[in-house]
A and B are shown apart, each in its own frame.
Chain A
């Protein structure tokens, strides 16, 4: 036991997992050039898609004014891109992230910009299909990979390093491929989390990330910087909880608007995001007072669960809400969960802060990659009660086995609690839209009838 051994970087042995691409296995050296020809098409489609979806949101009657900022940032090729390019030209570093697991506090503390790369471009799937020759894999992963290979997103192009947690097979193997193109920090997510060793391993992974980020920016992350970064994120977390408090008190903002706001936590500058959501909160609060609601109480209230929904791939959200339901809450890692959990620091020492960060991203996480994942069950039941949910739509991206299997389990415990559930599987493209619409409408009818049948 070292009682006075301090001031040492911690823990002593930082492994360098994922620091080297052993050999270029997947992507031929020339792949980038070969793929760049397809860039224009992907970019064109993506821009068009973002434009259409933005228009759709703008066209919703009674749009909150403060949403404008988010719609502006939602344009991947607009303001935020320019900012990032400007930042890079000034010598700043950009770190791309996948999944909810990456501790953005650390990247932020190093003075680098963390930016989420998980991708919603439907057109980018084709190039990835050509490489993998398997169309049955998770579209989120294929889209990210395709975007990466064709170089059609500024965020990907700007990333000096990518952080890739490995909760599922798709992400694990995608990390291996992109290692050929850019330095990657792989974070090993222990998938059975209720043991002491699992927590220790995850903390180690977070220290490892810190070391790699420090290497990238060329300076140590000071205690002060880390603390400031944590406090910045705490402010964002507070604002985010407030947002959900307001949503609980009245139907003041549609789910498709709320999910855009949540997704942008990963994209926008976190301080600016916090400022703007505080504005939005204030505006929504007055709406609650004025009883200026977007829909009545008789609207079926739906909870959206399952695979992440990534802007601008808003198909499912539009289908549900255009069919007359209100997405009152969700449990997506791209939705309510983005900033829900709090980084509570016990001791403001380097170690205390790192422990707090690691715990925050790991222990309360309800990602389906964990087993037995009772947290997800508790969380869903709690939200169902809090937001008076009438039915759950469980959305599974085709090829996402984790969510697909969790859906089966979920339907069982929801049945026990007498909550109807619909499982839908979808791809990124528009091919399944009509079929999905029919199923969703039928489901909504069921909950509507149930709602009217209730004895009170």
Chain B
């Protein structure tokens, strides 16, 4: 709680915008940056930014499907370094990417903000549904990997698809429809860049679902699925002091990913689950002092505060 400058959501929004504008679109989007070799080798976990021709923040999902032309050995060898970078990043940050940097997370948050501003109520996903959706994203990821592998193995006789349908996920990605037009307008992409029809459709779907439902896309995002299994073991995680929890359910109600675990946990200290996108709404709204917190390498950097705590100076005049 507290005023907007005391809320963690504010720096988060700024970071999201900053990353989108400066890192993705302006800085690295400028051709001269794109030619620096090492920046080309940073692979981020998201399913985005293929639209930025020069951007280094290049998706590992695309990478999986990208250079099939190169033949079996080069192709899989090319994947080693990006995957390593990816795993190291995940183990450091978990899905921190999702709520703070992902260019597909920001529009979802903005849609939610818009709906709130209009005063429309949200559509609630019944717990069973959100669990089912969470499972579905693994199916999406499986399909991506399966497709890639089967094209990659020369023996399977599917080389025809390498040219006709090289990167199917690119066709589906709502990012294409969302960002290519602004990019063209900014002169970052040539005006004849094609936006796949499918992408327009998924973008429509994206708008329709993410407006009434908080972070709907993240429920089914295959890039999220890649990061999810590592989330719990990341050096940055949510921690809970179970002795202070009143089980008020507020953390579950404010969670855009409909995570109930933070609320229902009674024993463990680490309450990060694979779906958590590290938005820290729960930490922001939990009304008990020091009950929820964010710990980075074992150090607590953010803690929940009682709503009255800005009125009180607890250090002063301690008795006993």
Report A's interface with B, CB cutoff 8 A. 1-4, 6, 10, 194, 196, 199, 223, 234, 237-239, 241-242, 245, 249-251, 285, 288-289, 291, 293, 297, 341-342, 344, 346-352, 355-356, 359-360, 363-364, 374-375, 378-379, 381-382, 385, 388
Contact = CB atoms under 8 A, between A and B. Distances in A.
List the 7 shortest-distance A-B pairs measured between CB atoms, nearest first.
Answer: A250-B319, A364-B248, A238-B308, A364-B246, A342-B287, A363-B249, A351-B121
Given A364-B246, A382-B244, A238 B307 contact: yes
B164 interface: no
Contacts of A288: 317, 319
18 contacts: A6-B121, A238-B311, A239-B308, A249-B317, A249-B319, A250-B317, A285-B317, A341-B246, A342-B287, A344-B254, A346-B254, A348-B119, A349-B116, A349-B120, A351-B122, A359-B253, A378-B246, A388-B320
Contact of A359 (B243, B249, B316): B249
A363 B247 contact: yes
A350 B121 contact: yes
Output the residue of B249, B285, B307, B311 with the most chain A CB within 10 A: B249
B262 to A, nearest CB: 13
Contacts, number: 111
Contacts of B70: none
Contacts of A196: 126-127
B240 to A, nearest CB: 12
A347 B116 contact: yes
Given A342-B307, A344-B287, A378 B249 contact: no
A346 B285 contact: yes
B264 interface: yes
A359 B245 contact: no
A18 to B, nearest CB: 26
B192 interface: no
Interface in B306-320: 306-308, 311-312, 314, 316-320
A293 B121 CA distance: 50
A359 B126 CA distance: 17
Contacts of B266: 374, 378
Given A3-B212, A378-B242, A379-B246, 11 more contacts: A3-B211, A10-B121, A245-B312, A250-B317, A250-B319, A342-B248, A346-B253, A352-B122, A359-B248, A378-B243, A385-B243
A1 B285 CA distance: 28
B311 A242 contact: yes
Contacts of B318: 249
Contacts of B308: 237-239, 241-242, 245
A3 B212 CA distance: 6
B89 interface: no
Contacts of A388: 320
B189 interface: no
Contacts of A199: 249
Nearest to A247: B319
Highest count of chain B CB atoms <10 Å: which of A242, A341, A344, A348: A344
A186 to B, nearest CB: 24
Interface string B277-320: 00000000101000000000000000000111001101011111
Contacts of B132: none
A297 B127 CA distance: 50
Given A341-B246, A341-B287, A375-B247, A355 B253 contact: yes
Contacts of A379: 246
B311 to A, nearest CB: 6
A289 B266 CA distance: 38
A356 B253 contact: yes
A194 B252 CA distance: 13
Contacts of B247: 363-364, 374-375, 378
Interface string B102-132: 0000000000000010011111001100000
A379 B246 CA distance: 7
B123 A2 contact: yes
A363 B249 CA distance: 6
Contact of B285 (A223, A242, A344, A378): A344
B15 interface: no
A200 B318 CA distance: 43
A1 B264 CA distance: 27
A297 B126 CA distance: 52
A337 to B, nearest CB: 10
A250 B242 CA distance: 26
B172 interface: no
A359 B127 contact: no
Contacts of B312: 242, 245
Contacts of B121: 6, 10, 347, 349-352
Given A238-B311, A347-B116, A356-B253, A341 B317 contact: no
B250 interface: yes
B88 interface: no
Contacts of A242: 308, 311-312
Contact of A194 (B116, B250, B264): B264
A85 B3 CA distance: 40
A344 B254 CA distance: 9
Nearest to A355: B253
B208 interface: yes
A368 to B, nearest CB: 15
Contacts of B1: 344
